[in-house]
Chains A and B, each alone.
Chain A
Amino acid sequence: MKNILKSTIAASALLAAAGAAQAEGKLAIYHWFEYIPQELLDKFAAEHDVEIVMDTYDSNEALLASLKAGAMGTYDVAVPGDYMVKIMAGEGLLDTIGEGELSNKGNIAPKWADPAFDPGRRHSIPYQWGSTSFMVNRDVYQGDINTTDILFNPPAELSGKINMLDSQGEVLAMASLHMGIPQCSTDREQLKALNDMLQEAKQHWASFNSDTAKEVLVSGDVAVGQIYDGFGAKARAEGANVEYAFPTQGYVVWMDNVVLLKDAPNRENALKFMDFLLEPENIAAVSNYARYGAGVTGAGEHMDPELATQPESNPPETAGAGVFIEVCDQQTQEVYDRIWTALKK
């Protein structure tokens, strides 16, 4: 009994010590999985003498759900995609970056300095941008892959071997492109047709998974996988004979952004981190790791030259338009939520 008592006291002391050690110079990041090199985090930690803790999520919706489930006030920064920045700002989850609070704000590439989802970059800075489409294993299928039929009306040899991202926004936007209808349609016939089409397409899908999107392609568990371009480039680099498709119907483009969360416990460090990521050299390190584009002037010089030429970043002539995911109003969104639930039941 005495020993047990002793170990408890020791454990409580450790626990208290752990709490104390984290109290000063901390930065809590809420981030996508497998999307930032550890060396870069170490570099920031060393430069500014802060301890970094990081949690990961696997979809924009999961990020929002978790923040609203009481995680506000525990994280300093998060990395939502374009449309989610708009939603989070609307929900009052973001803090405003004051004038002059970011010394490197001028480094933001002009193209990304005033985006529709965050006019004037009041809450966010660019992180990475890229596209979402899908990859096909060329050992299994040799035909034309630049069509959304591969996902929603696949040829027999691909049926049952398709992994979709577990992300409502990406799946439904792609489905809308396939049908040629707007993303926030209020037309009942269109919505019904979309629902029917997805129910039919579901028969051909093996799984919904975002974080294993690369693994299932590399291991050959599936032959088609919806995937982000850079994640796909990594799958190819790991030896899978897979090709990234640019459907003629169009594909999804996105930009992830580092946002300053409201009630950030370490606001100062969060701003330092944002400034850090606006240094061309640092954000280029992210691009070199994650294989996506950066939104910072001068980052190109520090990037791996292969990045510019990788097939996943260079749409062919035939490619349809890249579209951002749109934010629907509540009533419309609830219909899309029902379609998604029915799809995943």
Chain B
Amino acid sequence: MSRARFDVKSYPGFVQLTVLCLLILYLPLMVVAVYSFNASASIVNWEGFSLRWYADVFTGPESAKFKLAARNSFIIAITAATVATAIATLAATAMIRGGRFRLRVLSLGLISLPLMVPEIVTAVATLIFFNTIGFERGTLTILLAHIAFCIPFAYLPISARMQGIEDTYEQAALDLYATKRQAFTRVLLPLMMPGIVSGYLLAFIISLDDFIITNFVKGAGVETLPTAIFGAVKQGLKPNIMAISTMLVGFSIIMVTVSYFVGKKDN
């Protein structure tokens, strides 16, 4: 390497641009986090450190609304992620451990469909669909829509993981007279766990964060956290929204960190 006339790996300005990139990514979130500790009711002036807006989120006049929205969000995210992960695990088994077959490409296309169709289009299509079949909009419509678009997100890490596991393990089990079901539940599934956990967390976060589709298919008075926040933000950014946002940021970071270390331990 030393024979090169210059270090081929570094370019002037790249470090600065990387710093700029991180600044752009983090600065708005940090500013909001800082202002969530502002004692003032105005978002413009800084009047000293206070936790009042965090208290406000839990006990203030809007707390009931946000608590209900948070409960809805978590119930929907847990359920959607679980169902989507189960479906995706089965699909991955067929796709990766099912040999080559004619419908394979088509199935792959179907699984990637929610990723390819722009979100606003999915939202419109789902609304039209529920409306045409006369399915009353409510929590259930949100849940169904979320399951659909969570499947590919759960599928990605699961299938990636399964590709990395050689089938010799199951073959060995089968040679030892295990049934295919046993080979699946006792050998393959435990080996796949890190992938399944990543897939589950990914689907969970995606569901928790969704706004556009939820906004189209939600029923009367059913709010999730994003729709409740959107409703509140439309009328102006208030400090209690900043507090909620900061808590969600913290929650997301914890989730991603957990999933990162689950993945790392595995390597």
Contact = CB atoms under 8 A, between A and B. Distances in A.
Establish whether A and B are touching in the complex (CB under 8 Å): yes
Interface of A: 1, 4-5, 7-8, 11-12, 14-15, 18-19, 28, 30, 33-34, 38, 53-56, 58, 69-71, 73-75, 211-212, 214-215, 218-219
Interface string B125-169: 001001100001111000100000000000000000000000000
B75 interface: yes
A11 B231 contact: no
A38 B200 contact: no
Contact of B137 (A4, A70, A212): A70
A27 B235 CA distance: 24
A70 B127 contact: yes
Contacts of B200: 4
Interface of B: 43-44, 61, 71, 75, 78-79, 82-83, 85, 127, 130-131, 136-139, 143, 189, 196, 200, 219-222, 231, 234-237
Interface class of chain B by DSSP = helix
Contacts of A73: 136
Interface of A is mostly: helix
Nearest to A26: B221
A53 B222 CA distance: 8
30 contacts: A1-B189, A4-B82, A4-B200, A5-B82, A7-B78, A7-B82, A8-B78, A14-B75, A15-B75, A15-B139, A15-B143, A18-B75, A19-B139, A33-B235, A38-B61, A54-B221, A55-B221, A69-B131, A70-B127, A71-B219, A71-B220, A74-B138, A74-B220, A75-B220, A211-B234, A214-B236, A215-B235, A215-B236, A215-B237, A219-B236
Contacts of A33: 231, 234-235
A56 B127 contact: no
Nearest to B72: A18
A11 B78 contact: yes
Contact of B220 (A55, A211, A214): A55
B236 A11 contact: no
Contacts of B75: 11, 14-15, 18
